[in-house]
Amino acid sequence: MSEINLELKNAAIFQKESLILNDVNLDVRKGEFVYLIGKTGSGKSSFMKTLYGDLPLRQGTGSIVGYDLTKLREKDIPFLRRKLGIVFQDFKLLPDRNINNNLSFVLKATGWKDSHKMALKIEDVLGKVGMKTKGFKFPHELSGGEQQRVAIARALLNDPELILADEPTGNLDPQTSVEVMKVLQEIHKSGRTILMATHDYALILKYPSKTLKCDGNKIFEVVQRAV
């Protein structure tokens, strides 16, 4: 059996005192590509935030890339996030520095010191997302799709065991969404595990894979019908 990167049992997801999701039982195995779907307000973002330590797991059990979510302390969170690659809907690039410096900022923040190794790593991840020649540009000089490619490259910097992509195509037009999805598919083919929250059903039909749905305070796997 393949290694489990994420497992939740009888978990409840809270946003402050509000119960968002209840009785969550699921696992994501190494090498899987898993969609998380559901309407706005169904709990997708709260679920993702619990996985990367923004919200505590107060009920049930859960583990992600070797970390027990019920015992996660403030000082553990930076180390957890080094083993995760997180891609947000709104890119979160630093506007006052170019792409190379955006990426070197992350490497320095996660303990890298050798400038030559850092430069090689940045070139490597930008190459994986088709942005090798754009390192000297600033975020405002790039299209939305290019900025999201850079955000994906940033998520790859520390060779994460699991990539959490929270609506990565949410701010993009359909054509650009497909281009970003192709990048994620290539990364998945290289052996990465990806959990992607999305409301873009066209992408799910185009690139079918295991799908979990948030609905009625639950998460459950949905069986895709052939179309």
Q: Show the domain range for 51.
A: 32-57+73-222
- In a domain, residue 158? The reply is yes
218 within domain boundaries: yes
End-to-end CA gap in the chain: 30
Judge whether 63 lies within some domain: no
Instruction: Please count the structural domains in the chain.
Output: 1
Supply the pLDDT for residue 88. 86
pLDDT of residue 175: 92
How many other β-carbons are positioned within 10 Å of the β-carbon of residue 155? 25
The CATH number for 94's domain is 3.40.50.300
Whether 2 is covered by a domain: the verdict is no
Half-sphere CA count of 167, side-chain side, radius 13 A: 17
Alpha carbon dihedral 201, 89, 43, 110, in 10-degree steps, equals 130
d(CA 10, CA 12): 7
Task: Specify the pTM.
Answer: 0.92
pLDDT at 224: 65
Within a domain: 96? yes
Spell out, as residue ranges, where the chain has pLDDT lower than 50.
226-227
Q: Is 21 part of any domain?
A: no
pLDDT score at 226: 46
Whether 162 contacts 64, CB under 8 Å: yes
Give tens-digit pLDDT for 182-223. Answer: 999 999 999 999 999 998 888 999 999 999 999 999 999 997
Contacting residues for 34 by C-beta, under 8 A, at least 6 apart: 28, 194, 195, 196, 209, 210, 211, 212
Residue 10 lies in a domain: no
Identify whether 89 is part of a domain. Answer: yes
